[in-house]
A and B are shown apart, each in its own frame.
Chain A
Amino acid sequence: MKRLTLTAAVALALPAFAQAAEITVVREVDSNNYDPHRAVARAAAEVLFMLGDTLVSLNPDMQTIEPGVAKSWEVSEDGLTYTFNLRDDVYFCDGKQMTAEDVAYSITRWVDPETKSPVAWRAGDVESVTAVDEFTVEYKLSEPFSELLYQLTQSFGTIIDSANVEALGEDFGVSGFNGSGPFCWVEWTPRDKMIIERHEAYTWGAPFHTNTGPASMERITWQVVPEENTRTVAVLTGQSEITQYVPDIALAQLRAAPTVEVVRSDLAFWTYFMGFKIDKDTVSDPAVRQAINLAVDQTAMAEDLFFGEVEPAYSYVSQGALDWNTALDDTLLTYDPEEANRILDEAGWERGSDGVRSKDGVRLEPIAYVFAGSTWGKISESVQAYLREIGVAMDIQAFDATVAWGRLATQEFDMFGMSFPYVSSGDALNLYFRSENMPTPNRMNWNDAQTDELLQAGKTALDDATRAESYGAVLEIVHDAAVWLPLYHEPMVVAQSADLETVVPHNIYGAGLYKGLDLKFKE
């Protein structure tokens, strides 16, 4: 009997041991592939950070650049030449040593028009990237790019193995990936799961990690679970140890559960907004855009729709982001429906018998394109209700994500809903407000010579002060013109098993677990 009990106890305990270094992460969607230069989804970044390394890495404070596979770097006086000194102890998963050749190959492939990378601009105006010697890389730009180091920390800058890319061809990042990250590719079944395993030789983690390698997790399974309630109960019942994809409505319940810990970071730069196509009949009037900004109560929306789990936004980028212009703090447009009505009256938009305003025969009925799904459904309906109060009849048209991007590239709408990740003010502004980026991602058709000039000045600035000043000025211009209706900044919330050491959420590109080096079971 005693032996039987003992056997049973061992049998029961065994799975617990077997699980000790394995975790399942549940998430909402999968990426289309895991080629760092072709995949722009957050889902790709999440896994690529674990599979590969970048030249430099970003501290969880989202401001400080720290070493990656480059242990040090120098920037020339004119800001055109970056010299990276690589570590000589970095190896790919297959055992091959990483050299300057690999770095040069990776960046060159990134910017090569043949690759058709939608994010090539993030590498700056590259003239050439060459291997000076085995462990020195010379990164030459044709124009300075003050954000270069920040951009190089993103998953797009992942160093890949040329032999691997050539061997796999079309299947690179689909059937395999030879990276130098803390984890190695095991198996990917699209839309189901991605399995990665510990890279035993890994010792080159960035200095801000508690553990610089090898990782303490032996295996991580990224399991796609599209249903948000299922993800929530998966964390509650221990079928998943950690996830950043839980609905706001479930957070209170998760916090109350003894087996789950919820960590939150406000340094997450992910902002939801609605933009105006400023050359359309209705919203071309600055008074209308301003009134719409004043009519919407973001604080109440954050409270009612998102259970207070998000931060209401009045600014276009988070006020904690690098180069935010603090002078604007007091001038942001906050909820004031009376003022909104006054502005519209003054501008000559008169209410008709049905309460909708019109001017010179143009009715104030902007068409808004948003993504189908519960999030934008909630947001846009709420905005619609607020706008109704001031006599604006916003018409909502929702599209499935795969279709929406195509529709958003047209000129058929007056307003659009969007959310985006960024590392700094400059990152966001260069993406959305450059005139050359019309019609996408500059869907506002914001065509302003002064903005372009300032953005160029900021992009090519050689010192932090000039850069901050230029971007600050752009922020002022676009805020004054009210080209967006900011809605909320989404913080990074990670729900994790209480058996895990508390993680520090990292917000780069919204990939909360970043390298996964510090994922560890409590001892």
Chain B
Amino acid sequence: MMTLVLNRLIISIPVLFGVLLLGFGLLILVPGDPAIVMAGPMATPEVVAAIRTEMGLDEPVMTQFFRYLGRMAEGDLGRSLISNKTVISELGAAIGPTTELMVACLIWSIPLGIALGTLAAVWRGSITDRAIMAFSVAGVSLPIFFICLMLIHFVGVQWRLLPFIGRGGPLWTIEGLRHIALPALSLGLIFIGPVARMTRSSVLEVLRLDHVRTARAKGLSETRVILRHGLRNALIPVVTLVGLQAGYLLGGAVVTESIFSYPGIGRLAVGAILSSDFPLAQGAILILALAFILINLIVDVLYALLDPRVQTS
């Protein structure tokens, strides 16, 4: 198990380097001059030139890149051009809310997706099956922003049940829960579909296998057969899918957080890119990439736990 984790970590290093390179490329390639951004709209050319020298922007690209890598290695992500706060502190403040959103989204959508998928498999061909699959297809096909806007329109504006602007506080407070409900609901809705579909086909597959037949032959109850012998094996591809989808979820969070003005990493990244706040954009991209690597690592570990064959190989 340890070798597996270590292997994965070693593989992550070139990936991280690639991300750093891309993040730096962003600074060089996109239109927009960080010095002008920093100087503000009314600045005179002299002020801009002074800031450019101060930021080291007039040096060769290679020098800038190595200096950038050096700073990253020291854990210094720089300061935001816009707010002058350290990038670390801005990221730190945004990670909490995003984690909350992820938890609030996954905690209800994964079990629900798995349950729906299992039900659909067990009652294959029934009305329930068709309804669940129709719902899943809708969930997969509808764009996240549409779901967000519909929820705002009905739950927020028409019925006025829940707020839809900002974060009310930590997850464990009433206000925090009320504020996170709509974003977590929107984000979760796009997650249920793929999970349910994958669970359904995977359970169907597993139920056909020999060991399930043996279990049935032993005289175990159908529920027990499905839960103990079917679902455990069926979950392996589902875990893989959840891991892959979690990356997709981070992308969805960018949209969701923007629409609900929720102060997370996604909104931070969008804001930073739109306002040419390069250090912050680089930091946000780095964090998103790290999150992706971490999620994949967790998936691999879970995979190994569920399927002992992976551990030995």
- A-side residues, CB < 8 A to B, are 24, 26, 32-33, 38-41, 116, 118-119, 170-171, 174-175, 189-193, 223-227, 230, 233-234, 236-237, 239-240, 399-403, 405-406, 409, 439-441
Contacts and interface: CB of A to CB of B under 8 A. Distances in A.
Nearest to A240: B165
Interface in B38-52: 39-45, 47, 50-51
A32 B83 CA distance: 5
B47 A192 contact: no
Given A116-B47, A225-B261, A233-B156, A441 B276 contact: no
B163 interface: yes
B92 to A, nearest CB: 11
Contacts of A119: 42
B93 A189 contact: yes
Contact of A402 (B44, B93, B157, B275): B275
Interface string B258-274: 11010100011001001
A227 B271 CA distance: 12
19 contacts: A32-B81, A116-B47, A174-B85, A175-B85, A189-B263, A190-B90, A191-B82, A191-B83, A191-B263, A230-B259, A233-B156, A233-B164, A236-B157, A401-B275, A402-B275, A403-B31, A403-B32, A406-B36, A440-B44
Given A38-B40, A230-B164, 9 more contacts: A39-B40, A116-B39, A191-B83, A191-B267, A225-B165, A227-B258, A230-B165, A237-B156, A403-B32
Contacts of B33: 403, 406
B287 interface: no
A272 to B, nearest CB: 16
Contact of B268 (A24, A191, A239, A400): A191
Nearest to A193: B166
Contact of A116 (B32, B50, B268): B50
A118 B43 contact: yes
Contacts of B85: 171, 174-175, 190
Contacts of A405: 36, 41
Interface residues of B, number: 42
A191 B163 CA distance: 19
A171 B85 CA distance: 7
A249 to B, nearest CB: 16
B80 interface: yes
A403 B163 CA distance: 34
Query: Among B39, B93, B157, B274, which residue has the most Cβ atoms of chain A within 10 A?
Result: B157
Query: Among A38, A41, A192, which residue has the most Cβ atoms of chain B within 10 A?
Result: A192
Chain A interface, >50% SS class = loop
B152 interface: yes
B276 A40 contact: no
B40 A40 contact: yes
A240 B164 CA distance: 11
A174 B32 contact: no
B290 interface: no
Given A116-B47, A402-B276, A406-B33, A237 B40 contact: no
Nearest to B262: A192
Nearest to A172: B84
A400 B41 CA distance: 12
Contacts of A192: 166, 261, 263, 267
B258 A226 contact: yes
Query: Among A32, A119, A174, which residue has the most Cβ atoms of chain B within 10 A?
Result: A32
Contacts of A237: 156-157, 160
Contacts of B276: 400, 402-403
Interface in B64-92: 79-85, 90
Interface in B162-218: 163-166
A233 B157 contact: yes
Given A116-B47, A230-B259, A33 B164 contact: no
A317 B93 CA distance: 44
Given A189-B93, A190-B85, A226-B258, A118 B31 contact: no
Nearest to B51: A116
B84 A174 contact: yes
